[in-house]
Amino acid sequence: MRLRSLVQDALYLNWALPAAALPEPPEPLRYQTLEGQDGEPRAFASAILFRQTGLHMPHLPVVRFTYPQLNLRLYALDADRVPSVLFLDMLMPWWVGPAVRLVGEGPASVARFDYPRPSRDPDADEWHWRVRQGGVLEVTARRCAPPGGGALGSWQETVRFFRERPRGYMVSNGRLRRVETEHPRVEVWPMAVELGERSLLDAILPLGGTEGGAGEGWAAPHSAWLCPEVPFVFDLAVVPQVDLEATLPRAAASTRSATCSRSTSARAL
């Protein structure tokens, strides 16, 4: 089943997490890791906050859905060693969830959103995002200059590492489903971010608590950027051989020239 949409104002928040703190991925996936400064492997996660615009099937162009969404994902290699993402949860408004579960059988959860429109106001000093679903995620972001190179290479190589992944996987009804995607090159705004409350992240994927309920791994994003507009095409398929045990957590839960110090404080892994 092929679906098309336009993803707008997609804010990427990326983390390098201790691989040992994560649940085992479902077979045949394995996390894509990099050795940290302490000698322990780090795996990667992203929370992506965006607006799905005009989601539709090509043979039903009149029936379209537009709604805000947040998804939390981990980064893996599949059985073909293709760079992939593993979706832990997809948060969306209540009226969208039943349709998504019917069509895509994905791990959809209901949430409330307060999202800005940076692409409509690109000269604003900063923007604020808020998502509520049991816990809360609050983000303040502003545009900044691209940071220097890090453990994943240059800024451009870091963006490609997270964005250019042609396959996504999700666990649904005890089975692993695959999504084939296309990722055209698009405009990317480097962002400096500050996290307010982030109990929502810890509700979806607990990493070990600190006082206040936030796992230590969610303290500082590895990198952050915003894509004003991304044409998006994807195909849904079932990975035929896999019936899974439950290994993953239940789906839940100020100038342009400034550097991205807040969003890249964990770049040295």
- Give the C-alpha separation, 111 to 93, whole Å: 5
- Give the C-alpha separation, 9 to 124, whole Å: 14
174 or 212, greater pLDDT: 174
Give this prediction's pTM.
0.83
Q: Which residues contact 234 (CB under 8 A, 6 or more apart)?
A: 2, 3, 168, 179, 180, 181, 182
- Give the C-alpha separation, 80 to 117, whole Å: 38
> pLDDT tens digits for 67-124?
899 999 999 999 999 999 999 999 989 877 555 554 555 567 889 999 999 999 999 9
> pLDDT tens digits for 137-151?
999 999 999 988 788
| Complete domains list, the chain, with CATH | 2-243 (2.40.400.10)
